[in-house]
Amino acid sequence: MTASLDLTSDPVELTAALVDIPSVSGSEKTIADAVEQALRAQAPHLEVVRNGEAVLARTNLGRDARVVLAGHLDTVPINDNLPSHRTGSGDEELLHGCGTTDMKSGDAVMLNLAAALTEPRHDLTFVFYDCEEIEAERNGLGRIERELPEWLDGDLAVVCEPSNGSIEAGCQGTIRVEVRTTGARAHTARAWMGENAIHAAQPILQRLVEHTPRNPVIDGLQYREGLQAVKIAGGVAGNVVPDSCVVTVNHRFAPDKSAEQAEAELRELFSGYEVVVTDLSAGALPGLTSPAAAELVAASEAEPVAKLGWTDVARFAARGLPAVNFGPGNPTLAHTQHEHVRTAEIRHCAATLHRFLA
């Protein structure tokens, strides 16, 4: 039986209803069915399409601009944190449960707006997608881009990921590389007959220690790059000089740098060593100077900040849309057993987007 959602209810109540529908990545059918059924029944002004376990809805009013709002329906595995429950009261009331922060409170805000805004100032597209919390090749946005690309077109994208109720503009890119050394095996009792590949990694680590990260200002926002060794692997046995070593390095780069530039920079930094790229995603410029983005900033009544991590805003930026993160919840609580969200923040985000779009 499909769960029932009241899209006109308080967005806090709607968040609790969504949280109480388990939707671990790969198992989103029940929640997608509920979202689709609710949109078709309670938002007849929207065109609604189902794509796998994603649900898309949009207005077609012929407005001069279109805003795309996106949120994923899946969560990480449940960790003894369902059903939802509340603690505190007033401005300090908290809603607890898996997905409260990441990101069913954002989904609830979107669903509430979808039902309420029958005559928005901009045309609206709502994208509720699957499999965001697992490997990138299964991300529902990628499938939608391949099969229904026109549904991701617009003039501004708002990804309602947790951002503490503030606008986090754009996002940084990320690249992960393996820097490899080689040596020759020998018995440790006769170490002079071999070459220790782990010892040979010392200059790699020294270059990381001596590296000074960039901190560029883009559209008035301060970005902070990072370059860190995140793993080192090597060794054969307790009495063998190792003949190979791999240092894994992660670089978070500001969005004024392309993915190709980031890769070239790391290859130059580690010249003389074998460098293998294992993960690479471009960032997204903040784009706050676009008219629609400027309207959102004005409606938020708060200064935007730079997004230092990587999010799906980069997918939209690659399509030419300015993109921001804006949603309730503290991202540092995401994926934790004690995940929760301030109910006042859910209402704040709903009210802000309503001011922007109504």
Active site residues: 74, 132
Chain centroid to CA 65: 24
Q: Pick from 74, 85, 29, 79: which is nearest to 52 by CA?
A: 29
Q: In what order do the strands lie in the sheet with 85-87?
A: 85-87, 94-96, 340-342
**Rounded to an integer, what distance in angstroms lies between the CA atom of residue 83 and that of residue 85?**
7
Residue 342: CB atoms within 10 Å? 23
**Alpha-helical runs (H) found in 133-218:** 140-147, 202-210
Looking at this protein, which amino acid is placed at residue 71? G
Rg (CA), the chain: 23
Looking at this protein, which amino acid is placed at residue 78? I
8 A C-beta contact, residue 303 and residue 137: no
Q: At what angle do helices 105-116 and 11-19 cross, to 10 degrees?
A: 130
Q: Please name the residues in contact with 328: beta carbons below 8 A apart, sequence gap of 6 or more.
A: 101, 105, 106, 109, 162, 165, 341, 342, 345, 346, 348, 349
**Rounded to an integer, what distance in angstroms lies between the CA atom of residue 266 and that of residue 280?**
12
Q: Please name the residues in contact with 190: beta carbons below 8 A apart, sequence gap of 6 or more.
A: none
Q: Pick from 74, 100, 73, 76: which is nearest to 86 by CA?
A: 100
